[in-house]
């Protein structure tokens, strides 16, 4: 059923993290309802809004990294493409930044 996608360990970890975040946010919302606040994003957001925006941003970071990894290998004269773990860490930093300061 999932043969259409290249299920590598980093991809599986990424999606498992997303599921765990959604479950955690659901429990957190039930225990402590959110309030609207304004951070660096140009609109007032709730925790759920920031999670959604952060997940979209994390997905774009991963897609951009995959798209330019061949060029990065050429620019830095690497033997192969850079590790996808780099984009995973970058995307989690972006997500944390949006959740905390957004």
The residue ranges of every structural domain in the chain are 9-35+43-100
Kindly tell me if the per-residue pLDDT of 43 is higher than 80: yes
CA dihedral 89, 90, 92, 94 (to 10 degrees): 170
pLDDT per residue as tens digits for the range 5-38: 777 787 788 788 889 988 999 999 999 998 899 9
> Alpha helix locations (H) across the chain?
9-31, 47-75, 84-101
Tokens of 49: 């809004």
Q: Please list, in sequence order, all residues whose beta carbon lies within 8 angstroms of the beta carbon of residue 102, skipping any fewer than 6 positions away.
A: 39, 40, 41, 45, 50, 53, 54
* Average pLDDT of span 61-88: 86
Tokens of 16: 């498992």
Q: Please list, in sequence order, all residues whose beta carbon lies within 8 angstroms of the beta carbon of residue 16, skipping any fewer than 6 positions away.
A: none
């Amino acid at each position: 059923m999932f043969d259409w996608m290249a299920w590598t360990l980093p991809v599986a970890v990424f999606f498992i993290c997303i599921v765990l975040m959604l479950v955690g946010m659901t429990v957190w919302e039930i225990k402590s309802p959110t309030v609207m606040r304004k951070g660096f994003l140009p609109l007032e957001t709730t925790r759920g809004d920031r999670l959604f925006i952060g997940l979209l941003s994390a997905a774009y970071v991963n897609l951009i990294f995959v798209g330019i990894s061949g060029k990065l290998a050429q620019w830095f004269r690497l033997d192969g493409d850079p590790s996808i773990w780099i984009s995973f860490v970058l995307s989690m930093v972006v997500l944390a930044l949006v959740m905390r300061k957004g």
